[in-house]
Amino acid sequence: MKTAIAVFCKTPGLSPVKTRLGAEVGRTCAEEFYGLSILALDEVLGQVDQELGNDIKIYWAVGEQEALKNPIWNSHETIWTGEGSLGERIHHTYEVLWKSNDAVIVIGSDSPQITAEYIITAIRQMFLTDAVIGPCHDGGFVLFGTKRLVGKSIWVKVKYSCEDTLSQLTNLLEKSNCSYHFISSLGDVDQYDDLISLLNDFLQMGSIIQPRQLYLFQWIQRLLISKMLMQEEQSACFHMHCVSESIK
């Protein structure tokens, strides 16, 4: 079964990335995280490519048409997601890739703890069901794959970034008689607390953690320590201010 894997992504500098995270740690830091996440995913995708070879084709599904030839995406072919809502862009990506593939998988770009085994499990599961879903801890999904073209009406009816995004999607799939199977649930990174969860996920990976994932793990450690020290410094300054005021 020839399968296309499309990673949904945005190009830093052309589109805002991780804005909620940026509100807590700064835009530059959020963009750095996003870049490291892309690199970690790229490494994992390379492993999938090595193992499955001619059975798969990997794409960066880029949100900006003008960025399709940007060097940041030169490790794989690119495809423009098109314009419109997230549902419209997912449907457009599926529709284009369907023309030359038997199945299509879309993956988010902010779950860098995804492993090659996770993706391969999803591909193999599609031999047994119409669709496979990797749920997200926040109520959405980090991976969706299908060997059956899901209608645009389904994608655009779903409300994204909600606690019940996944349940909305599965309800619509059931109404269209599309069978599905869940694989393991993972987290994604939208805000600062998600970095702590990601750190724990990396810790649990043990020896299977890849070099770029390990680098991101260490980067998060440094960020958390820096933020903790900053909070302690602010607390100490506030305490000193209170003491000074009380003396007056």
Please compute the mean of the pLDDT values over residues 74-86 and round it to a whole number: 96
Q: How confident is the model at residue 238 (pLDDT cuts 50, 70, 90)?
A: very low
The arrangement of secondary structure in 3-220, i.e. its CATH architecture, is Alpha-Beta Complex (3.90)
- Three-state secondary structure call for residue 110: coil
Q: What is the pLDDT of residue 241?
A: 41
Q: What is the pLDDT of residue 228?
A: 73
Q: What percent of the chain has pLDDT over 70?
A: 92
Q: What is the pLDDT of residue 107?
A: 98
Please compute the mean of the pLDDT values over residues 128-157 and round it to a whole number: 95
Q: What is the pLDDT of residue 234?
A: 52
Q: What is the pLDDT of residue 227?
A: 78
- Summarize pLDDT for 166-210 with one digit per residue, the tens: 999 999 999 999 999 999 999 999 999 999 999 999 999 999 999
Q: Please check the confidence at residue 239 and state whether its pLDDT lies above 70.
A: no
Q: Please check the confidence at residue 101 and state whether its pLDDT lies above 90.
A: yes
Q: What are phi and psi of 178, to 5 degrees?
A: -100, 115
Please compute the mean of the pLDDT values over residues 90-104 and round it to a whole number: 95
**pTM flag (> 0.85):** yes
CA-to-CA distance for 21 and 194, rounded, in angstroms? 9
Q: Please check the confidence at residue 37 and state whether its pLDDT lies above 60.
A: yes
Please compute the mean of the pLDDT values over residues 10-38 and round it to a whole number: 95
Please compute the mean of the pLDDT values over residues 118-141 and round it to a whole number: 96
Concatenate the DSSP letters of all residues of 115-126 into one string: -HHHHHHHHHHT
The residue with greater pLDDT, 245 or 148, is 148
Q: How confident is the model at residue 231 (pLDDT cuts 50, 70, 90)?
A: low
Please compute the mean of the pLDDT values over residues 90-117 and round it to a whole number: 96
Q: How confident is the model at residue 226 (pLDDT cuts 50, 70, 90)?
A: confident
Task: Provide the b/e sequence for 190-208 (b: ≥16 CB within 10 Å).
Answer: bbbebbeebbebbeeeeee
Q: Please check the confidence at residue 123 and state whether its pLDDT lies above 70.
A: yes
Q: What is the pLDDT of residue 59?
A: 98
What is the chain's mean pLDDT, rounded? 91
Provide the residue count of the chain.
248
Q: Which of 132, 209, 210, 201 is nearest to 173 (CA)?
A: 132
Please compute the mean of the pLDDT values over residues 146-164 and round it to a whole number: 94
